[in-house]
A and B are shown apart, each in its own frame.
Chain A
């Protein structure tokens, strides 16, 4: 099963502390024709935003390596003078306390997902819809059939 490329791949910044999950996300996104920039900490993520041009979307976990968490990161890039404040953010975390969800939504993230309750396909479909992205079409047959 190979993707059918129709347009340049959008770049997505994935910030996830758990290495296995980061790899799974990266592979799945790449498989879905995204250019993936992966990192496990807020500091590195901010560095990538500076260095890598054209990041169009952010996949964000709450608990991250280092002192700062996902909320710190969102607060930073949603600052009034931030050049990245319009980049869509999808928070994917297992830490689903109402106050944290509320805080993320207040800061202006696009969606909040509980990892264990969602398939990758579901989240990626939402990202694609948000980006109006038609860069690749996943052959759904196998995955959906199997699931």
Chain B
């Protein structure tokens, strides 16, 4: 269904509903009011009829009393002349006149106080009328009550209904006046029916107090609908009744019942006046009104619907249809179409926006088309270029493929190289995860390559000290290299495999540093169990050698000591001299043995370097002090140049002492008397520079290359018979070689020698061995 019928139906239904509801409310309200008004009007009308009847009867009562108060009549009765014919004739004429004035009466009759009928006339002038038996009753009542008596409807002697008015004739108006007679008047009853007929067009029914119908304007009494007289008997106030078709034996009847009320001096007889009218007839105006209202509503509804349809179409549907057509056109890509703007409401603004949008899109579309053309052109160019590039790329890919093969070959070579290394090699990333492990390392650590790769290194194996204590993670070489960014060498630890077996390992953990960031560590690991056992054997050898060599020297030493001390008795001077020679020779032998043992330790690599904060200058001065005796004997001049700002250096003090002892003792030993020995200890760049200079014998140039060899002594000093083992410089050279230092010299024979020693200001490198040098 399209928008228009939808809107029309929706608004139409809403309108019909609203109007229906409003009509119902108004209809109910007006109908109710109208019904009440009509009912009240009906009741009032009936009551007015009842009042008219009462007024009629009151007027008749006054008429009767007026006749009774006529002086001529009173005089005739008082003077008892009424029986006289002339008087009677005069009275009859007067009474006829009275009847016509106060009537309508059927007849007038005058009774004496003795209840004797004296005179009777009717309106047509007849007199001497026959007596009516009903009169006496009311005559007696009037005489007795001495006031007007009005009967209910009674049947006259001719069988017609009538009402009897009996008025006493008083002698005067005084309170105690004598009743002279009674005037009796018979009412002409049809006059009452005429009132009903004249005053109301409805059907009226007058009932007496007993519920008997006494008068009606209806053509027939049977048309009376209210058959139930009990309603009449119980009604004391005016009221309306609606009689159902069952009650009224026909259509629904609307009835009004008005009881007779006393009216001025007339007391009434309890009559009830009933008016009847068919309900349909009574409320015909309402029905007419409803019909008219319904017709009017339909007409208004139709007109409104028509107007609504026109307005909807004009102001809503047509603009929307135009917008729809516009949108459809845009959907189809026809952006040149524009919608008609009929007004400036929201739809008008929407249409304007749509037109503007279409213009924009059209412009954009045109621009886009231009760009597409341009781009297409550029694309075509690019495609051509791409073809060229493709060819070039294919060439590059070929090159890359070749390069890849080369890389793969190189990788395979590297792999083979790494796997062919005898030492284990493990690559560990910055998170401590193993990323590569070569076959040697796998063989050493006893797992498969897959089991290691991706595993944290500290879980892949355990590290213990030689005493069996597990090394904490922070002290493990790999971790120290990772965190400290320095190469960590170690040969002190035992590596324990997962199966519990172990081996002594020498490791080098080298951090991989790029742009100042540690990317990981390369751990080179070697099983040194065999070397360790060899070391132990070497140590045992040196230990035994030192023991075996020193023991006889100790015996000689101690026995010579005791002999010289006189423990075995006094010695001859020559004996003492010989023993002193023995003792000196023994001391030189001890020095030689100690030197040889030191050489042995140096060569076996079993000596220890234990750096500790040391004042190097103090050691130099102490050694100089120890040489004071020899210096003084030779009258040597000693020049010293010691740095005043040199901090404590991390060096092994025993080795440092050996260096100074050898260099200074050589300088003193190989400088002739009166010579000069100079020592300088100064920092230079990153090193400590020790310079020991003498102006002694010097070293022949031809032998300078052998100066640091074992047991070498230059020819020029050997010829001078100086003491010396030929091991001192060899030992110094070896110590410095093993601790990160350097030694060199300049020498000119017979002019002197200068030894230069450098030790890094960072100190000596620590070395763990089994022996100290002595």
Contact = CB atoms under 8 A, between A and B. Distances in A.
A97 B771 contact: yes
B565 interface: yes
Nearest to B565: A143
Given A24-B559, A116-B554, A119-B561, A95 B772 contact: no
Contacts of A1: 565-567, 570
Contacts of B580: 146
Given A97-B543, A115-B550, A147 B770 contact: no
Interface string B554-595: 110111011011110010000010011001000000100110
B696 to A, nearest CB: 29
Contact of B558 (A95, A98, A119, A146): A119
Contacts of A6: none
A3 to B, nearest CB: 10
A98 B769 CA distance: 9
B771 A98 contact: yes
Contacts of B558: 21, 24-25, 28, 115, 119-120
A99 interface: yes
B547 A95 contact: yes
B746 interface: no
B551 interface: yes
A51 interface: no
Most buried by B among A119, A142, A146: A146
Given A31-B567, A98-B771, A116 B562 contact: no
Contact of A21 (B555, B561, B579, B769): B555
A40 B404 CA distance: 77
B567 A28 contact: yes
B546 A95 contact: yes
Nearest to B558: A24
A8 B770 CA distance: 43
Interface residues of A, number: 28
A18 B590 CA distance: 18
Contact of B561 (A18, A98, A117, A120): A120
A147 B774 contact: no
B546 A96 contact: yes
B771 to A, nearest CB: 6
A43 to B, nearest CB: 21
B771 A94 contact: no
A119 B558 CA distance: 6
A119 B559 CA distance: 10
A117 to B, nearest CB: 7
Given A116-B590, A146-B580, A28 B562 contact: yes
A142 to B, nearest CB: 4
Interface string B738-774: 0000000000000000000000000000000111101
Interface in A100-130: 114-117, 119-121
Most buried by A among B558, B562, B772: B558
B551 A21 contact: yes
B486 interface: no
Interface in A17-37: 18, 20-21, 24-25, 27-28, 31
B608 interface: yes
Contacts of A90: none
Contacts of B566: 1, 142-143, 146
A63 interface: yes
B707 interface: no
Interface in B180-213: none
Nearest to B559: A24
B553 interface: yes
A94 B567 contact: no
Contact of B553 (A31, A116, A119, A142): A116
Nearest to A19: B555
Contacts of B594: 116-117
B539 interface: yes
B73 to A, nearest CB: 179
Nearest to A25: B558
Given A20-B555, A21-B558, A98-B772, A143 B564 contact: yes
A63 B547 contact: yes
A28 B562 CA distance: 7
Contacts of A98: 608, 769-772
Nearest to A28: B562
B562 A18 contact: no
Interface in B573-621: 576, 579-580, 583, 590, 593-594, 608
Given A28-B562, A96-B546, A120-B562, A18 B555 contact: yes
Interface residues of B, number: 33
B158 to A, nearest CB: 173
Contact of A116 (B539, B567, B593): B593
A135 B412 CA distance: 83
A99 B769 CA distance: 9
B546 A119 contact: no
B599 to A, nearest CB: 16
Most buried by B among A21, A31, A94, A98: A94
B581 to A, nearest CB: 12
A81 B608 CA distance: 36
Contacts of B543: 95, 97
B565 A142 contact: yes
Contacts of B576: 146
Contacts of A27: 562, 567
Contact of A114 (B550, B570, B579): B550
Contacts of A114: 550, 774
B582 to A, nearest CB: 12
A27 B559 CA distance: 10
A95 B540 CA distance: 10
Nearest to A120: B558
A119 B564 contact: no
B546 A94 contact: yes
A31 B579 CA distance: 20
Contacts of B550: 94, 114-116
Interface in A29-78: 31, 63
Nearest to A31: B567
B774 A146 contact: no
A146 B572 CA distance: 12
Contacts of A28: 558, 562, 567
A116 B557 contact: yes
A42 B628 CA distance: 45
Interface string B379-401: 00000000000000000000000
Interface in B499-521: none
A117 B559 CA distance: 14
A98 B770 CA distance: 6
Contacts of B570: 1
Contacts of B770: 97-99
Contacts of A142: 564-566
A28 B594 CA distance: 25
A18 B564 contact: no
A137 to B, nearest CB: 14
Contact of A147 (B539, B583, B590): B583
B555 to A, nearest CB: 5
Contacts of B551: 18, 21, 94, 115
A64 B46 CA distance: 166
A146 B562 contact: no
A121 B211 CA distance: 178
A43 B558 CA distance: 26
12 contacts: A20-B555, A24-B555, A24-B558, A25-B558, A27-B567, A94-B547, A95-B547, A97-B772, A115-B558, A117-B590, A120-B561, A143-B566
Given A1-B565, A1-B570, A25-B558, 12 more contacts: A1-B566, A24-B562, A94-B551, A95-B546, A98-B772, A114-B550, A115-B550, A115-B557, A119-B558, A143-B565, A143-B566, A146-B565
Interface of B: 539, 542-543, 546-547, 550-551, 553-555, 557-559, 561-562, 564-567, 570, 576, 579-580, 583, 590, 593-594, 608, 769-772, 774
Closest 3 CB pairs of A and B: A143-B565, A146-B564, A94-B550
